[in-house]
Amino acid sequence: MGPLAITFGLGILGVLFAFWLAQDVLRRDQGTPEMRQVSSAIYEGAMAFMRRQYGTIIVLALVGSVVVGIVIAAVEGNTGLGISTAISFLVGALCSALAGFIGMYISIQANIRTASAARRSLNEAVQASLRGGAVSGFLVVALSLLGVALMFVLFGGLADPARAPFQIVGFGFGASFVALFAQLGGGIYTKAADVGADLVGKVEANIPEDDPRNAAVVADLVGDNVGDCAGRGADLFESTAAESIGAMILGVAVYALARRANLPNAEYWIFFPLVVRALGIIASGAGLLIVRARDGENAMNALNRGYFLAAGLSAIFMVGAAQYMLGSIWFGLAGLVGVLTSIAFVYITQYYTAGTWRPVQEIARASLTGPATNIISGTAVGFESTFATAVSISIALVASYWMGVQGVAALGLPVAGHAAGVFGTAIATMGMLMTAAYILAMDTFGPITDNAGGIVEMSHQPEEVRRITDELDSVGNTTKALTKGYAIASAALAAFLLFSAYIDKVNEVLCKNAPIDRVTGLPDLVACVRPVAQGGLGIHLLEAVDLAKVNVFVAALLGAMLVYLFSSLAIRAVGRASQTIILEVRRQFAENPGIMAGTVRPDYGRCVDITTRAALREMVAPGLLAVAVPIAIGVALKHEAAAGMLMVGTIVGVLLATVLNNGGGAWDNAKKYIEAGYMKNPDGSVIGKGTPTHAASVVGDTVGDPFKDTAGPSLHVLVKLLSTITLVLAPLFIG
Amino acid sequence: MGPLAITFGLGILGVLFAFWLAQDVLRRDQGTPEMRQVSSAIYEGAMAFMRRQYGTIIVLALVGSVVVGIVIAAVEGNTGLGISTAISFLVGALCSALAGFIGMYISIQANIRTASAARRSLNEAVQASLRGGAVSGFLVVALSLLGVALMFVLFGGLADPARAPFQIVGFGFGASFVALFAQLGGGIYTKAADVGADLVGKVEANIPEDDPRNAAVVADLVGDNVGDCAGRGADLFESTAAESIGAMILGVAVYALARRANLPNAEYWIFFPLVVRALGIIASGAGLLIVRARDGENAMNALNRGYFLAAGLSAIFMVGAAQYMLGSIWFGLAGLVGVLTSIAFVYITQYYTAGTWRPVQEIARASLTGPATNIISGTAVGFESTFATAVSISIALVASYWMGVQGVAALGLPVAGHAAGVFGTAIATMGMLMTAAYILAMDTFGPITDNAGGIVEMSHQPEEVRRITDELDSVGNTTKALTKGYAIASAALAAFLLFSAYIDKVNEVLCKNAPIDRVTGLPDLVACVRPVAQGGLGIHLLEAVDLAKVNVFVAALLGAMLVYLFSSLAIRAVGRASQTIILEVRRQFAENPGIMAGTVRPDYGRCVDITTRAALREMVAPGLLAVAVPIAIGVALKHEAAAGMLMVGTIVGVLLATVLNNGGGAWDNAKKYIEAGYMKNPDGSVIGKGTPTHAASVVGDTVGDPFKDTAGPSLHVLVKLLSTITLVLAPLFIG
C-alpha cells in the first residue's frame, strides 16, 4: 500500500472516528429540564457567536484568497499559480472553519451530557467530556491532513512531487488567516465576557460566580468554548497544516538528490510527513479509547495514561515509519526527540502553573503583602519560565538537526549538511505533533467540564455532583494550560522548518530553472548562477539571512516590536469589549429589579449578542496589523529582511507567549491554591477566601486572564502567520 | 592643532569644568542644623554603600581583568595582547568607578544646598541641583573620553592607528563590567529600600512617606542616589566608551582604503569619534551654563532651554567637524540624524510617561475599576511604547546608513557599501551621544531634588519651601524618565555599530595577515583567503550572521531568553532584599516604642547597612548570569552564533527595557495624576487620595518600581555587556 493510500485511508478513518465519537456523545442523556434550560442558553449563544464570527471570517477569507491569487499571478506573471494559490488558500480556510464549527457544535452538546453523567459516576463524566473534546481534536488533525493531501494530488503531486509542495503553500496561509481571526475573536470574546461578568457581578453586585442573576453569565460560559475549543483548534489546525507543507518542501531537496543517486522510492522523502501525521491519528485514537477513570482516582491520572499510550505508540510508529520509508534509524531518533519534547513541555507547564511547585506557591506567598507584590512575583515567574522553554527547544533543534545530518550521512546521500539537518528538525516537529489530536481532546475537555460545572451550579444540583464537576473543571484548567505549552513549543519547532522552507522557496523563485551548484573555488558555498536582464550573470547565494545587514536588522527589530504592539492591541481590546458588557448588565439590573430578586430571568441572549459584536469589532485592528505589517516590511525591505523579521518575530513571539501563558496560569492557580486553604498563618490557621491575601490573588488572576487567554494564544497564531505569509508572498518580496 | 590634541585638551577641560562645578556647589550654604542632621545621615549612608559596593566591584574587576588577560593571552598565543587587554579592562573599570564615586559624592552634597537654596528662590535651587548633577555628567563623559584616548596612545595608536583600536576593546568591557554591578546593585538597593520603606511605613504603620520615624527612610533617600546617579552614570560611561571604541574600529576599514587612495589625513577617520565626543562636552557645557529659571516658570522649561542649546550646538559642531575632517556633508547629515533621534526620544518618553497625554490618562481611568485593570492597562501601554521606539531607531539606522553610503560615494572612496553605511550609523550614534553630559546632569538632578524634598520634609520647613522642592522633584521624575529613554535609544544605535565592530574583529582574527579581497567571479562577495593547517586554502566569507543556521538561531533564542531570565532575577532580588528591610524596621518599632512616639531617633544607619549587604548579595546571581551565559553560548556555539545571540539579545533587551521603563513611568505618573486631582466624577467632584481609585493606582506604581528602576536600567547595561564581551572574547569563540 502506497504512502498516499495510507494517508487518505487513515485521514478518512480519523474523520469517521470523530463522527463515531460525536454519535457516542450525542446518544447520552441530557439530564433534568432545568439543566437543559441552561445548556440550551449556552448552545444558542455559542451558535449565534459562531455563525456571526465564521460569517465574518469566511467573507474575509474570500477577499483574502482573491487578493492573494491576484498578487501572486501578477508578481509571478503566472495566472495558473495565482489560481492554485487562491484555491488552496480558500480550501485551507474552509477546512479550518469546518473543523472549528463542528468541534464547537459537539463541545456545547457535550457539556450537558457531562453534567448529567456527573450525577452517576466520575468515569462516565470523564468519558463524555473527553470524547466530546476529541471530536474537535480528530476533525482538526484529519481535515488538515486530508486537505493538504488533496491539494497535493490536485496540483499534480503524483506527476511531479517536487513541484506540488510549492503550489499548496496557500493552504497554510488560509489556515493561518482563519486561525488568526478565530483565536483573536474567540480570545477577546472569552475574556471580555469573563472580566465583564466578574467586575459587574462579583465586585459591583456582590453575587457569586455563575450566579443565574448575572446577565453576563451565559456569555461567560459561551466564552470558554469559543476561546479554548474553536480558538485552539484553529491554532493547531494551522500548526499541523503548515508543518506538513513546510516539511514536504524540505523533503524536495533530499528527494532530488536521492533520485539523482538512483535510490528506490525517492518520493518517500516528500510523503513521509503525511504518513507520520496519519499514524499519529491512530496513536491518538488508541490513547483516547483506553481512558477510564477509576472511582476515587484523580481524573488527571486517567488522562495521563491515555496520553502516555498515545505518545508511546507515536514513538513506535515514528521509528518504524522512518526505518521503512527513509532507511535510517537516525531519522527515527530525530522523531523521538520530538515526542520527548512534547512530554517535556507537559512537565514544564505543570511546574510553572500547578500549585504543587515552587512558582505558584511563591506567588501565593507574595500575595500576603498585597496585590502589588503578587503582580511583581507573577511577572518574575512568567519571565523565568522562558528559560526551560528556550533551553528545551534549543536542545530539540540541535539534537534533531545533528541526527538528520547523521542519517543522511549513513545513507551516503550527497545532500548538503544544512538541508539534511533541517529535515531532521522537521521530523522532530512531526514527532511532536503526532499526539496533536489527543492533546486537543484534552484541551477541549476544559471548556466542556467548565460548562458542565456552570450548568450544575445554575441548575442547583446536589453537592456530590458539584464535587465531581469541580474536580473535572480543575483538571480542565491544567489540560488547557498544557495545551498552550504544547502549542507554543510546536510552533517554535515548526517555525525553524518554515524559515528553511521559506528560504528554499526564495531560492526556487530566484533560481527559476538555473542550476544550483557549488561556486568555483569556494568549497562550502552553494549558489545558483543564471543570466539576468542586463546580459551578465546574476549570482544568488543560497541560505543566508544576514542579520548584520541593516535592512535585515531593522526588519528583525520591527518584527520583534510587532509582537509587543499586537499583544498591546489584543489586551486593550479585552478591556474595551468588557466595558460594553458591564454597561449592558448594569442596564438590565437597573431597568428590571426582578432580576436581582431572582424572579425574572435576565436577557442572556442580548449579552451574548453584544459581546459577540464587540469581540468581532475589536479583532479587526490587531488582525489587520498582523497581516499588513509583515507584508509592508517584506515589500519595503525585501526578501532577506522578511526572513529576519520572521525569525526574530518568532523568537520574541514564542518567548512573550510563554511569559503571558505561564504567568497567567500561575496567577490563576495561586488564587486557587489560596482558595483551597493551603496558605496558613504561623499558628496553623488557614488564610483563605475573604482575606486580603485572597483579594490580592484575585487581582493577579484577573490580570492574567487577558494575558493567558487572549494575547498569549493569539501570539501562537501570529508567529505562524508570519511564516505562512512570507512563504506565500515570497515572490512579492524579491525585488 | 591635531585631533588628538583637541581630544585631550577638551577632555581635560571637561574634568576641570566638573571640578569648577563641584566648587560652585560646595561653596553654597548648607541651611539649618536640622537640615544638616538629615543630610549627614544620607551622606553617611550613601558613602557607606559606595565604599562597600565599589570595594566589591573593584575586587571583581581585578579578578575579571586577570582572567580576561589570561584567556586572551592563551587563546591568541600572544602575551602582549593579553596584558594590554587586562590593563585596558582595569583602566576602564577604574575610570568608570572613579566617575561614579566622585559624582555621587557631589550629588549627596548638592541635596542639602538645594534644600537650603529653595528657601530663597527657584532659580538658585535649580542651579544648585543641576550643577551638582552636572559634576557626575561631565566627569563621566570626560573620563570616558580621556581613558579611551590614553589607551589608544599607550597601545601605539600614534604609530599604527589601524591596529590600536582593536587593542583597547578591553576598556569597554571593563566599563561594562563595572556598569553591570553598579546598576544592578544600585537598582536593587534603591527599590528594595523604597518598597520596604513603603510597605512597612505607609501600609503597616500607617505613617506618611519620608516620615523620620521610619527607620528605612534614610536608606530610601540614599537609594535614589545610588540608582539614578551612580547607576545611570556607569551606564552612560559604558555607552560613550564602547561607542568610541566601536566607531574607531569601523573607521579602520575606511582609513585603510583612504590611505590606499592617497587621501590626505586618512587617520581622521579613526580620530573622528574622539573629536566629536570632545566637542559634545563644549556643547553640553554651554547648555548648562545658560540655565536660569525665571520666577513662576516651570523649571522644566529652563532645563529644556539648556538642552536645546546643547543639542543645537552639537548639530553645528557635528556638521563642521564632519565637513572639515571627513570632507562630505553627508556625514554631517548622518550625525544630525543622531541629534534628532535624541530629541525624538525626549518626546516619545514624555508622551508615554507624562500625565498630559493619552497613555497615562488611560491608566488613571482604568484605576476606576480597580488594581487589576490598572495593571492590565499599564502593561498595554508599556507594550505599545515599543512601536515609537522601534520605528525611530529603524528610521535613524536606515537613514544614517544611507547617508554613510552617499558620503563615501561622494568622496569617490573605493569602500564597500556595507562598511560605509555602518560608519554612517556610527556617526549618528556619536551625534546622539554628544549631549550625554547634559542629559546626565538632568538625570542626576532627579535624585538631588528628590533628596532635597526629603530633607525639607524631615526638617519641617515651611510650606513655600516645600512647594519649590515638590516642583523640582516632579521635574526630576520627568528628567529621570527621559534619561532612560535616551540611554536605551543610544544603546540600540550603538549596538548596531558594535555588532559590526565585532564582525570586523572576527575578520581580523580569522584573516590574520591574509588579504581581504573580492572572490573571483562573485562581484558582491568579499572574503579573505589564507593557507590553513591541512595545507589547503581556508576561505572565510566576511560579514555574515546567518540566522538560518541552526547554531545561530539557537544562540539567538537563548540570547533573547537571557534577557527575560536576567530581568526575572533582578525583579525577584528586589523582593527578597526588601523583605530584609521590612524585618529590620519591624524589629526597631517593636524593640523601641519611643520611635513611633517620635521621642527616639530610629537607627537609620543599621537599615542602610542591612540594605547595602542585601543588595550586594542579591546582585551576584544576575550579575554572574549576565557574564557567564554569553561566554558559554559563544564557546559552545562559536563566533557566528555569538553574533546572533548579541543581535537578537540586543533587540529583545531594548524592547523589554522600553516596556519596563515606560510602563513603570506611566504607572508612577498615573498615580501622581490622580493625586494632583485631575480625575473627576461625572458631577465634577475630584477622585483623589484616599479613594479606591487612588489605592489601585498605588498598586500600579509599586509594581512599576522594580520594573523601571531595577530591571529596565539593568537591561541597558546587559545589552552593552553582550557587545563588549563578544568584542573582547571574539578569539575565544572562533573554533
Model confidence at A163, pLDDT cuts 50, 70, 90, reads confident
pLDDT > 90 in chain B, percent: 54
Per-residue confidence (pLDDT) for residue B516, from 0 to 100: 53
* Inter-chain Cβ pairs, chain A and chain B, closer than 8 A: 254
Cα A653 to Cα A564: distance, rounded to the nearest angstrom: 8
Phi, psi of B602 (to 5 degrees): -70, 165
Per-residue confidence (pLDDT) for residue A512, from 0 to 100: 63
Per-residue confidence (pLDDT) for residue A59, from 0 to 100: 92
Cα dihedral B700, A692, A221, A102, rounded to 10, equals 60
Distance from CA of A663 to the nearest CA of B (A): 12
Are the beta carbons of B554 and A397 separated by less than 8 Å?
A: yes
Look at residue A264 and tell me whether its pLDDT is greater than 90.
no
Look at residue B67 and tell me whether its pLDDT is greater than 60.
yes
Look at residue B505 and tell me whether its pLDDT is greater than 90.
no
Per-residue confidence (pLDDT) for residue B519, from 0 to 100: 45
Are the beta carbons of B391 and A558 separated by less than 8 Å?
A: yes
Per-residue confidence (pLDDT) for residue A378, from 0 to 100: 96
State whether residue A596 sits within 8 Å of chain B by CB: no
> For residue B373, what is the nearest residue in chain A, using CA coordinates?
A703
> For residue A402, what is the nearest residue in chain B, using CA coordinates?
B550
Of B519, B565, B703, the CB nearest to A384: B565
C-alpha cell at A654: 514564542
C-alpha cell at B20: 569648577
Mean pLDDT of A711-721: 92
Which residue did the predictor score with more confidence, A108 or B417? A108
Which residue did the predictor score with more confidence, B523 or A21? A21
Per-residue confidence (pLDDT) for residue B339, from 0 to 100: 95
Report pLDDT digits (tens) over B16-54: 999 999 999 999 999 899 899 888 888 888 888 888 888
Cα B530 to Cα A629: distance, rounded to the nearest angstrom: 44
Per-residue confidence (pLDDT) for residue B160, from 0 to 100: 87
Phi, psi of B537 (to 5 degrees): -110, 125
**DSSP string for residues in A582-633:** HHHHHHHHHH-HHHHHTSS---HHHHHHHHHHHHHHHHHHHHHHHHHHHHHH
Within 8 A of B718 by CB-CB distance, chain A residues are: none
State whether residue B421 sits within 8 Å of chain A by CB: yes
Model confidence at B701, pLDDT cuts 50, 70, 90, reads very high
Are the beta carbons of A545 and B550 separated by less than 8 Å?
A: no
Please say whether the beta carbons of B666 and B363 come within 8 A: yes
Per-residue confidence (pLDDT) for residue B417, from 0 to 100: 67
Per-residue confidence (pLDDT) for residue A414, from 0 to 100: 67
Distance from CA of B300 to the nearest CA of A (A): 31
User: For testing the chain A interface, which of B376, B563, B650, B668 should be mutated: the one with the most A CBs within 10 Å?
Assistant: B376
Question: Of A565-579, B121-135, B210-224, B660-674, which range is least confident?
Answer: B210-224
User: Which residues share a beta bridge with B531?
Assistant: B537
State whether residue B463 sits within 8 Å of chain A by CB: no
Q: Kindly report the CA angle at A195 between A605 and B368, in degrees rounded to 5?
A: 120
Look at residue B535 and tell me whether its pLDDT is greater than 50.
no
Cα A186 to Cα A618: distance, rounded to the nearest angstrom: 11
User: For testing the chain B interface, which of A392, A427, A648 should be mutated: the one with the most B CBs within 10 Å?
Assistant: A648
Per-residue confidence (pLDDT) for residue B536, from 0 to 100: 42
> For residue B389, what is the nearest residue in chain A, using CA coordinates?
A561
Q: Distances in Å between the alpha carbon of A253 and those of A45, A524, B301?
A: 49, 17, 65
Report pLDDT digits (tens) over A322-350: 999 998 999 999 999 999 999 999 899 98
Report pLDDT digits (tens) over B432-463: 999 999 999 999 999 999 999 989 988 888 98
Cα A606 to Cα A584: distance, rounded to the nearest angstrom: 8
Per-residue confidence (pLDDT) for residue A504, from 0 to 100: 79
Look at residue B1 and tell me whether its pLDDT is greater than 80.
no
Look at residue A506 and tell me whether its pLDDT is greater than 90.
no
Report pLDDT digits (tens) over B709-735: 999 999 999 998 999 899 889 888 986
Report pLDDT digits (tens) over A389-403: 999 999 999 999 999
Model confidence at A537, pLDDT cuts 50, 70, 90, reads very low
Cα B289 to Cα B707: distance, rounded to the nearest angstrom: 34
Mean pLDDT of B622-638: 93
State whether residue B644 sits within 8 Å of chain A by CB: yes
C-alpha cell at A256: 532530488
Are the beta carbons of A572 and B499 separated by less than 8 Å?
A: no
C-alpha cell at A702: 484577573
Cα A415 to Cα A424: distance, rounded to the nearest angstrom: 13
Q: Distances in Å between the alpha carbon of B334 and those of A43, A276, B130, B401?
A: 63, 55, 30, 8
Cα A11 to Cα A15: distance, rounded to the nearest angstrom: 7
**B256: number of Cβ within 10 Å:** 16
C-alpha cell at A472: 473535572
User: For testing the chain A interface, which of B195, B385, B394 should be mutated: the one with the most A CBs within 10 Å?
Assistant: B394
Look at residue A258 and tell me whether its pLDDT is greater than 50.
yes
Look at residue A517 and tell me whether its pLDDT is greater than 60.
no
Closest CA to B34 of B415, B462, B424: B462
Within 8 A of B499 by CB-CB distance, chain A residues are: 547-548, 553
Within 8 A of B391 by CB-CB distance, chain A residues are: 558, 561
Distance from CA of B376 to the nearest CA of A (A): 6
Are the beta carbons of B550 and A425 separated by less than 8 Å?
A: yes
Mean pLDDT of B119-142: 94
Of B523, B565, B571, the CB nearest to A387: B565
Model confidence at B539, pLDDT cuts 50, 70, 90, reads very low
Cα A228 to Cα A226: distance, rounded to the nearest angstrom: 6
Cα dihedral sign for B71, B72, B77, B83? negative
Average pLDDT along chain A: 89
Cα B228 to Cα B478: distance, rounded to the nearest angstrom: 13
Of B394, B401, B425, the CB nearest to A558: B394
Per-residue confidence (pLDDT) for residue B538, from 0 to 100: 45
Are the beta carbons of A550 and B401 separated by less than 8 Å?
A: yes
pTM reported for the whole predicted model: 0.93
The 3-state DSSP class for residue B528 equals strand
User: For testing the chain B interface, which of A383, A633, A646 should be mutated: the one with the most B CBs within 10 Å?
Assistant: A383
Cα B13 to Cα B23: distance, rounded to the nearest angstrom: 15
Look at residue B646 and tell me whether its pLDDT is greater than 50.
yes
Per-residue confidence (pLDDT) for residue B532, from 0 to 100: 44
The kind and range of the H/E element at A527 are: strand A526-531
Per-residue confidence (pLDDT) for residue A625, from 0 to 100: 92
Cα B87 to Cα B65: distance, rounded to the nearest angstrom: 7
User: For testing the chain B interface, which of A194, A204, A551, A553 should be mutated: the one with the most B CBs within 10 Å?
Assistant: A553
Q: What is the DSSP letter of A686?
A: B
Interface predicted TM-score of the whole assembly (ipTM), two decimals: 0.93
Distance from CA of A325 to the nearest CA of B (A): 25
Mean pLDDT of B357-361: 94
Helices within A354-462 (DSSP H only): 358-366, 371-384, 386-411, 417-433, 436-458
Closest CA to A707 of A659, A651, A672: A659
**DSSP string for residues in A39-68:** HHHHHHHHHHHHHHHHHHHHHHHHHHHHHH
Mean pLDDT of A454-473: 89
Average pLDDT along chain B: 89
Are the beta carbons of A652 and B652 separated by less than 8 Å?
A: yes
Which residues 519-578 of B are in CB contact (within 8 Å) with A? 519-525, 527, 539, 541, 543-551, 553-554, 556-558, 560-561, 564-565, 567-569, 571-572, 574-575
State whether residue A376 sits within 8 Å of chain B by CB: yes
Mean pLDDT of A493-522: 69
Look at residue B524 and tell me whether its pLDDT is greater than 60.
no
Per-residue confidence (pLDDT) for residue B255, from 0 to 100: 87
Look at residue B518 and tell me whether its pLDDT is greater than 60.
no
Per-residue confidence (pLDDT) for residue A233, from 0 to 100: 87
Please say whether the beta carbons of A717 and A235 come within 8 A: yes
Place of cell 504518513: A275
Distance from CA of B338 to the nearest CA of A (A): 16
User: For testing the chain B interface, which of A401, A550, A581 should be mutated: the one with the most B CBs within 10 Å?
Assistant: A550
Are the beta carbons of A548 and B647 separated by less than 8 Å?
A: yes
**A536: number of Cβ within 10 Å:** 9
Cα B336 to Cα A717: distance, rounded to the nearest angstrom: 41
Are the beta carbons of B519 and A524 separated by less than 8 Å?
A: no
Distance from CA of A667 to the nearest CA of B (A): 12
Query: Which range in A523-532, B455-464, B623-632 is most confidently predicted, on average pLDDT?
Result: B623-632
CA distance between the termini of chain B? 45
Mean pLDDT of A186-203: 86
**B202: number of Cβ within 10 Å:** 15
Environment class of residue A207 by beta-carbon count within 10 Å: exposed (0-12), middle (13-18) or buried (19+)?
A: middle
Q: Kindly report the CA angle at B622 between B621 and B625, in degrees rounded to 5?
A: 90
State whether residue A421 sits within 8 Å of chain B by CB: yes
C-alpha cell at A709: 487567554
Mean pLDDT of A448-471: 90
Are the beta carbons of B651 and A522 separated by less than 8 Å?
A: no
